[in-house]
Structure 1
Amino acid sequence: MSDAVQSVTIVEVGPRDGFQSVGPFIPTPHKIALIGRLHAAGLRRMETTSFVSPSALPQMADAAEIVAATDRLAGLDAQVLVPTARHAERAFAAGATHLSAVLSVSERHNMGNVRRTPMESVADYAQMVAMMPAGAAMRLNLATAFDCPHVGRIGADAVLALLDPLVAATADVEIALCDTTGRADPAQVRALFAAARDRFPEVRGWAFHGHDTYGLGAANVLAAWDVGIRVFDASVAGLGGCPFAPGATGNVATEDLVWMFDHMGVASGIDLDRLVDAARAVAELPGAQIGGRVRDALAARARKAAA
């Protein structure tokens, strides 16, 4: 198959990973409107919200309302993040049909997030798998798969060892290896995905969740693409930030990936002009920490053309 007819799936995580980094509460109707603009730009997979403790993360307190609203968007595959089986129950009760479970390879990071060891989270994940109703889908996010803010670089052996019991729970899952800190490099990304796919050929699909903290977000995406990964998370306007590198940007920007793949002749199904318009609206959110380069480059080109 030639590059001209290849396609990529971009999962928009701004409404979850991006919005949760914004301090001031974003009014629910405004969130829904922004999700609608992203949908109108052609995005058909989004991580729209997360079911977590409202006291721990007030920005996500309207998760049930978001699920109800996004269910009305035609053709949208809306996944919701759930860190534990208890929150998975809440998500299913609200009508969610695509869960996005998360646990960390790093014990220290996992303890900080959910007060469990990784193996305790594996057991909790197995409970989520067991409670899934017919027709529901599962996505597994493996955080700190490349680097941990507390202990540094994570070895491939640790990732593969944790994947053993997770894949045993179900292979009918999409597994995202996550560069939580943005400190991964293309060689590391390429090697880990190659090793994981070789060891677990039965897994339904693989994805990459990258951050752009050190400017390697798009490069790491391309490294994963080179070894056959075709699903990538990204956040509109690079919304997200990184708490471990104050002042640095967070998630790789959706518009940067769309621009890159468009110029590679890889179809994303996303209208870049509409996406950039949505990104500009997102960039205006009070308290938003944004990133990305394409949005500013296109604006500069437009100013020059107008002059």
Structure 2
Amino acid sequence: MRVTIYEVGPRDGLQNESTVVPVDVKREFIGRLAAAGLTTIETTSFVHPKWVPQLADAEELLDSLSRVPGVSYPVLVPNERGLDRALERGVRDIAIFASATDTFARANLNRTLESQFEMFEPVVARALDHGMKVRAYVSMCFADPWEGPVAPAQVVEVGRHLLDLGCYELSLGDTIGVGTPAHVTALLEAFQDARTDVAQLAVHFHDTYGQALANTLTALRMGVTTFDSSAGGIGGCPFAKSATGNLATEDLVWMLDGLGIETGVDVCELASTSLWLAGKLGRPSPSRVVQALAKEL
């Protein structure tokens, strides 16, 4: 069995850094990730620089990036202007970012739960017309810091709408990291009841309460084969002070290697990359596997 790791470190990880990371460091980081065997590396976002200053160098980064054959470099696109910028740079794979709750849609997108689709519809339609692949993130799939627990049926309704627009894959996000295996089971069963092919589903877990690997294993056993993660566990959630960030790619690969599941990723080379990046960021990696392997690298 083989799974796909959707690496989000260069975008979702670095965007949370308060100090701007130089473009040459980002470029080397992405190159090292590809060299370690990762074949999907979310590179940056075409969000307005005012909102995410860390990613203001998106064009410069993409223009200077050495692309490896067989590796895809998707970019997050928030709206039509972001799509215009992606098209200008010849981007082939994009992602949009939706919300499963009304409060977060208002806070993050300045839209209601329903009106968010009015923003996504022209983006997806135009992207498909240009031969792009469009992935959709759905945030707050398990709980929202304002609304509390989120009903699986509500997540399914949002997800089905995005798939019907033409998105090829949904990444189901535990944005504040409160989900447990029981929650994962209930959500995936709800999608299956709605006749959603599990091949169209990915999962994106945060490790706030130490449940990311357990949740990943649960999703794996239910047929999910695409997993989002961040090298070294960089990134975090601004809505939960105790959040420890994204599931570390090294921790994910170590578990999958132990299960005999192929990822194509060299965990030692990846850990070396995360140690290098930790030095650039000026703090240790939160990944337990990186910490353990550091003694041998």
Smaller-chain TM-score bracket: over 0.9
1:243 match: 238
Q: Is the CA contact 2:198–2:224 (under 8 Å) kept in the aligned structure 1?
A: no
How many angstroms apart in 1 are the aligned matches of 2:264 and 2:137? 24
2:149 match: 153
1:3 match: none
- Asked if 1:126 is matched to 2:118, the reply is no
1:167 match: 163
Deviation digits for residues 182-238 of structure 1 (CA, Å, limit 9, x no counterpart): 111111112211221341436862100111111111111111101100000000110
Q: Runs (4+) of structure 1 moved beyond 4 Å?
A: 287-290
Offset, 1:165: 2.7
Match of 2:88 among 78, 86, 93: 93
Classify 1:192/1:271 alpha carbon distance in 2 versus 1 (closer, same or farther; 3 Å): same
Classify 1:231/1:7 alpha carbon distance in 2 versus 1 (closer, same or farther; 3 Å): same
- Asked if 1:17 is matched to 2:12, the reply is yes
Query: Aligned to 2:281, what secondary structure does the other structure show?
Result: coil
- Asked if 1:137 is matched to 2:133, the reply is yes
Q: Is the CA contact 1:239–1:289 (under 8 Å) kept in the aligned structure 2?
A: no
Which amino acid is 2:106 matched to?
Answer: M
Instruction: Return 5+ residue gaps in structure 2 as ranges.
Output: none
Query: Aligned to 1:269, what secondary structure does the other structure show?
Result: coil
How many angstroms apart in 2 are the aligned matches of 1:124 and 1:19? 26
Which amino acid is 1:250 matched to?
Answer: G
How many angstroms apart in 2 are the aligned matches of 1:27 and 1:11? 23
Offset, 1:241: 2.1
How many angstroms apart in 1 are the aligned matches of 2:37 and 2:18? 28
Spell out the pairing of 1:1-307 with structure 2 (5 A cutoff).
6-70=1-65, 72-132=67-127, 133-170=129-166, 173-201=168-196, 205-286=200-281, 290-300=285-295, 302=296
Offset, 1:166: 2.3
Classify 1:88/1:71 alpha carbon distance in 2 versus 1 (closer, same or farther; 3 Å): farther
Question: Pairwise CA RMSD of aligned residues?
Answer: 1.8
Q: Which range is displaced more, 265-274 or 124-133? A: 124-133
How many angstroms apart in 2 are the aligned matches of 1:178 and 1:55? 25
Give the alignment's TM-score, normalised by structure 2.
0.94
Instruction: Return 5+ residue gaps in structure 1 as ranges.
Output: 1-5
Q: Which range is displaced more, 183-192 or 84-93? A: 84-93
How many angstroms apart in 2 are the aligned matches of 1:210 and 1:274? 23
Offset, 1:292: 1.9
Classify 1:200/1:128 alpha carbon distance in 2 versus 1 (closer, same or farther; 3 Å): farther
How many angstroms apart in 2 are the aligned matches of 1:193 and 1:43? 26
Q: Which range is displaced more, 201-210 or 190-199? A: 201-210
Which amino acid is 2:228 matched to?
Answer: D
Offset, 1:247: 5.0
Q: Using CA pairs under 8 Å that are at least 6 residues apart, name the structure with larger relative contact order, 1 or 2.
A: 1
Give the alignment's TM-score, normalised by structure 1.
0.91
How many angstroms apart in 2 are the aligned matches of 1:195 and 1:70? 40
Q: Is the CA contact 2:98–2:138 (under 8 Å) kept in the aligned structure 1?
A: yes
Classify 1:161/1:59 alpha carbon distance in 2 versus 1 (closer, same or farther; 3 Å): same
